[in-house]
Structure 1
Amino acid sequence: MQLSLAAVLAEAARRSPEHVAIVTDRERITYAGLWQDGLRHAAALQSLGVSPGDRVALLAGNVTDFARCYYGVLAAGATVVTIPPMLSPEEAGYLLSDSGASLVLARGEFAGLARAAADSSGVPVRTLGEPHRPDALEPVVEASEPLVSYVSRAPDDVAVVFYTSGTTGRPKGALLTHLNLVMNATVNAFDAHPLSGDDVVLGCLPLFHTFGQSVAMNTTFRVGATLVLQERFDPDDAIDLMRAEGVTVFDGVPTMFVRLAEAAARRDDAPSLRFCVSGGASLPVVVLDRFEKAFSTTLYEGYGLSETSPTASVNQPLFGTRAGSVGHPIWGVEVEIARADVDERVALLKTGEHGEIVVRGHNVFAGYLNAPEATAAAVVDGWFRTGDIGFKDAEGFVHIVDRKKDLIIRGGFNVYPREVEEALMRFPGIAQVAVIGLPDAELGEEVCAVVVPAEDGGVDTAALDAWAREHLGKHKYPRRVEVVTDLPLGPSHKVLKRELRARFGGEN
């Protein structure tokens, strides 16, 4: 049996050749044009010695070159390794050496990072977007005849290596197969939130990240819709793009929805969107409500990880929505709750019981690269253990309580930061909040709330303390409040709680 993720773009080009695939501030390119570019890039890569199964690192932002190279690598039968541009040379170098990449493709603005990262391993670098450079890929592409068709692969062959954030040590390379990613794009596009070729999707999510790559790009291309790319997220520019390009769908992470709602409150021209999808982190219900009112839309919160391609569950029109939940499992995927204190097997719990979220289905990855022990610990009895704590309610909606590692144990009582954050977000004047546990000699851990004030003022910490005491249990309300101008964000715009714990608690 043969299957390739490259077919996502190839079939869109066959069915809708003249339809616009990508819009940027520099160009508009049709599906036929984008696919021919992909086939020409594939031929160029072959001429540079890239063979089926080789790993090619891609270092680029939200530009057309990302899609050209991504599908070019796949069309050549190789595997894509995406490198976040904000890494240090040492961090990027580790990803190159660990992945065994044979070539790095880097946009010109990241060429310095690519070379510094590749120095230690001797991996060759080809730059993009600056054809005059001696190491530019463009001359090789221009001299190459496009492949007649893409090199197909087996469904279980690895299409993409996504590196996890490394919150518990060195990043691990999650191996995503062609079947994983084709199925995730297909189910997202035709089942979870049906799209059509008439839809216009705003792509603010980083394409190097699994959410932006799979849910925004691959899902959009799966139906032949149009993807409008924004290189760097800016809420006011995003609203302008929505209006100028007739955007109907927006995928984002909670921090984006917070800033878009704030921007919409300053202006009176927020467009009406057909629907939006939030993922990557927990979305406070108060933010969901603000955004839906500002953009006259329905916002569907979902849940997934790099290891699940990424979508595992999401609020869907078929089942209705439930604020504060991450909806139902997507088609063909099971999401259940297991005992978190039993590691050697998966012991499923009953409805309503709290435990570790486990996932089984076509979206579960093939394992971690070069890490058999980590793979064995993560995939048990055919289920992927997510490390997240949650429960399923009587109607089958999945609820995320918190990350297992973020759980605060104060004086022997469990405190789930998500619950405290939801409560504090209802206090007037707070734009964002992150709740963390800090070391305490008497209680083990103490609850600390790190808050970002709304744009129009500050936060009265004494009033917040009184309000929290009234609305939260005695073991839950934060005894310490820190006011900051912004929260540290990772490559996927997730709040980096480990940095907050280091800053305010002296954690190493």
Structure 2
Amino acid sequence: MSTTVYQAFTDAALRWPSHPFLCVTPETAAIYGIAAGEISYQDALVEIETLKAAFQAANYGHGHRVGVLLENRPAFILHWFALNALGVSVVPINVDMRAAELEYLIDHSEIVLAVALPKRHALLRSAAQAAGSKLLIMGTDELPPAAPSVAPLAAALVDSSTECALLYTSGTTGRPKGCILPNEYFLAAGHWYAKAGGLATLHPGVDRMLTPLPLVHMNAMAYSVMAMVVIGGCLISIDRFHPGTWWDTVRESRATIIHYLGVMPAILMQAQATDEDRAHHVRMGFGAGVDRSLHAAFEQRFGFPLLEAWAMTETGAGAVIIANHEPRFVGSSCFGKESDDIQVRIVNDAGESTAADENGELLVRHAGPDPRFGFFAAYLKDDAATRLAWQDGWFHTGDIVRRNRQGFLHFVDRKKNVIRRSGENIAAVEVESVLLQHPAVKAVAVAAVPDELRGDEVLACIVSHAPMDADRDAARDAARAAELAHDIATWSLTQLAYYKVPGYIAFVPELPLTITNKVQRGELKTLARTLPGSPMCIDTRALKKRQEPVA
């Protein structure tokens, strides 16, 4: 039995050497400037071994962390597996990250090297300098520079407990948290998917999985990549979701499985129906968050089930739940029923178990002797947060769910102060901490407002140093508000990933605060929903576009 991701891939390459492992579509190849076509397991292994030898010669080893900023290119996976062979943990870096985010990640993760696209090198150097880090940077076609230090755990065995990756999640009370994910986490995810069965049955050596989800997220890294490794399947990882060419890509790549975000079905359903809607080989989609009103209509039109699932970066396959058996209660936000190897509690605010059809917080753990099997190992440098998450021996998810009388689970809402926009989790406090650095901002609070395509959009309530009151001179203040909002949003794009930047900026005289001057999140959420369309709320969504780095 493999104990590392690298060993699992090596075993797959020995069993299925000529089978395709990765497929690069012509569209993605053109966007990335790389070759289109398929890479077999054997050819991928040769490249991995070459990279492994180069990193080993440069003295990278067990205990080092290396950042990987390579988008959804095959190079991401090849470098990941090569580094994993040496016990090096990878820290995926979102290509959309900007100055403030990169500075924090570099400092907090203590990465010693970043393997990155050349166009991102200047931004990484600037962020490293601001963080006081001597970060080394290389491109994919360069030999690794000599490691700046001896590998901290050089003498220790690399096994299933070894840190494989460090993935950052949205912090709810502060900066994003770094989830330490061991090899066991990724292996468990791959084997869980391979054995899920029902409507999610995988066919060894046959299935071709298409995903537009970013490799910096656990879904693509743990479920997509590792499932294909375990069954000898082919991964079709495209650069991102392109609605206009999506079905052409599905057909041309011969995909049998697709992974989706909730926003995707909503967009695809807007296109006019055609005779080719069912002209594909897809057996099922795996994802979460599909619009309840569109779920049944999508399946009827395109001819395959969308299997709604639940998991978190922290839970991995230790507590993944999926609606892969009937009844699925399509159109009700049902994500299935837990399997025998998962334990679930739903509790109210008093910590008491809820009754059927009663909302409560979802608590989970793995059944058996190790309740943390398949979960993250810990939050990096935050033992207190790790202990709090595992309070009383259960992982507290912060998600509100209910169980119907037949025993099936339904997603209701997020308890945590997290905004979910197009599949990206955004911590309100992170956005607030950055906005407070703008000279015009005296106070700020961020909340989610509904968006018919993206689920949530970010709205920032701002108290400016130069107060504006539309009741005094509406026209003048509205013009000032629009100008200032544009300035704040444009500046924010240099500090945050574009999707975190406020899509609405509302200037308010004061924020709803408690007697201890903390933001009343419940009142803020209610207030935020009333603001879009009002005179002092500026719609800045048109500015939210992916930004190219400044050289």
Asked if the contact 1:278–1:300 (Cα under 8 Å) also holds between the matched residues in 2, the reply is yes
Match of 1:465? none
Contact in 2 for aligned 1:118/1:124 (Cα 8 Å): no
How far off is 1:7 after superposition?
A: 2.7
Q: How does 1:123-142 map to 2 (within 5 A)?
A: 123-128=135-140, 131=141, 136-137=142-143
For 2:417 and 2:112, the matched residues in 1 are separated by: 37
Write out aligned runs for 1:202-221 (5 A).
Answer: 202-221=210-229
Are the counterparts in 2 of residues 235 and 260 from structure 1 also a CA contact under 8 Å? yes
1:292 corresponds, among 293, 296, 299, to 299
Query: Which amino acid counterpart does residue 4 of structure 1 have in structure 2?
Result: T
C-alpha contact 1:305 1:311 (8 A) present in aligned 2 = no
Shift of 1:268: 3.9
* Residues 318 and 365, structure 2, Cα contact 8 Å, conserved in 1: no
1:54 aligns with 64
- The answer to whether the 8 A contact 1:278-1:301 is kept is yes
Kindly provide the amino acid, as one letter, of the partner of residue 386 in structure 1: T
Alignment match, 2:394: 383
- C-alpha change, 1:7 and 1:398, in structure 2 (3 Å) is farther
Q: 1:252 aligns with which of 255, 260, 271?
A: 260
CA distance in 2, matches of 1:312, 1:271: 35
Partner of residue 174 from structure 2, selected from 151, 157, 169: 169
Whole-Å separation in 2 of the counterparts to 1:322 and 1:63: 37
Corresponding residue for 1:338? Answer: 347
Q: Is the 8 A contact 2:185 2:376 kept in 1?
A: yes
Q: What is the CA deviation profile of residues 372-412 of structure 1, one whole-angstrom value per residue up to 9, with x for unaligned ones?
A: 1111111112211111111222222111110114699xxxx
Aligned-pair distance for 1:139? 10
Residue pair 2:172, 2:418 contacting (<8 A) in 1 also:
no
2:283 counterpart of 1:274: yes
1:44 deviates by 1.4
After TM superposition, the score normalised by the length of structure 2 is 0.68
CA shift, 1:259, in A, is: 2.0
Per-residue deviation, 1:117: 2.8
Quick one: which of 370, 377, 396 aligns to 1:366? Answer: 377
1:177 Cα offset (Å): 1.6
- The answer to whether the 8 A contact 1:313-1:328 is kept is no
Query: Identity rate of aligned residues, in percent?
Result: 27
Which secondary structure state, in structure 2, belongs to the residue aligned with residue 214 of structure 1?
helix
Q: How far has the Cα of 1:311 moved from its partner?
A: 7.3
Aligned pairs for 1:97-136 within 5 A:
97-119=107-129, 120-128=132-140, 131=141, 136=142
Identify if the C-alpha distance between structure 1 residues 433 and 4 changes in structure 2 by more than 3 Å, giving closer, same or farther.
closer
2:370 paired residue number:
none
Distance 1:501 1:407, change over 3 A: farther
Residue 2 of structure 1 deviates from its aligned partner by 7.4
Given the superposition, is the C-alpha separation of residues 155 and 54 from structure 1 closer, same or farther in structure 2, using an over 3 Å criterion?
A: same
Contact 1:360 1:383 in 2 (8 A): yes
Distance 2:11 2:2 in 1: 15
Contact 1:307 1:364 in 2 (8 A): yes
Q: How does 1:35-54 map to 2 (within 5 A)?
A: 35-54=45-64
Over 3 Å counting, the alpha-carbon distance change for 1:137 and 1:271 in structure 2 is farther
Cα–Cα, structure 1 residues 432 and 209, in superposed 2: closer, same or farther, change >3 Å?
Answer: closer
Find 1:33's aligned residue among 38, 43, 68: 43
The letter for the 1-side match of 2:285 is C
Matched, 1:357 2:362: yes
Distance 1:341-1:266 versus aligned 2 partners, 3 A rule? farther
Aligned partners of 1:211 and 1:310 also within 8 Å: no
| 1:70-113 alpha-carbon deviations (Å, 9 max, x no partner) | 11111111111111110113311211211121211112343333
Change (3 A) 1:74 1:267: farther
Measured in 1, the distance between the counterparts of 2:375 and 2:87 equals 21
Contact 2:44–2:78 at 8 Å: present in 1 too? yes
- Pairs within 5 Å for 1:294-313: 294-309=301-316, 312-313=319-320
Q: Which moved more, 1:106-115 or 1:308-317?
A: 308-317
Deviation at 1:341, TM superposition (A): 4.5
Shift of 1:261: 2.6
1:241 has 2:252 as partner = no
Alpha-carbon distance in 1 for matches of 2:506, 2:52? 46
Q: 1:189 is matched by which residue type in structure 2?
A: A
Structure 1 residues 2 and 35, CA gap change in structure 2 (3 angstroms) = closer
Match of 2:397, SS state, is: strand
Indicate the larger mover: 305-314 or 379-388: 305-314
Letter in 1 for 2:301: A
> Which consecutive residues of structure 2, in runs of 5 or more, have no partner in the other structure?
27-34, 147-155, 367-372, 420-449, 462-491, 512-518, 520-551
Q: Distance in 2 between matches of 1:208 and 1:219?
A: 16
Q: Which moved more, 1:368-377 or 1:286-295?
A: 286-295
2:338 maps to which residue?
329
Give, as a single letter, the amino acid of the residue that structure 1 aligns with 2:191.
T
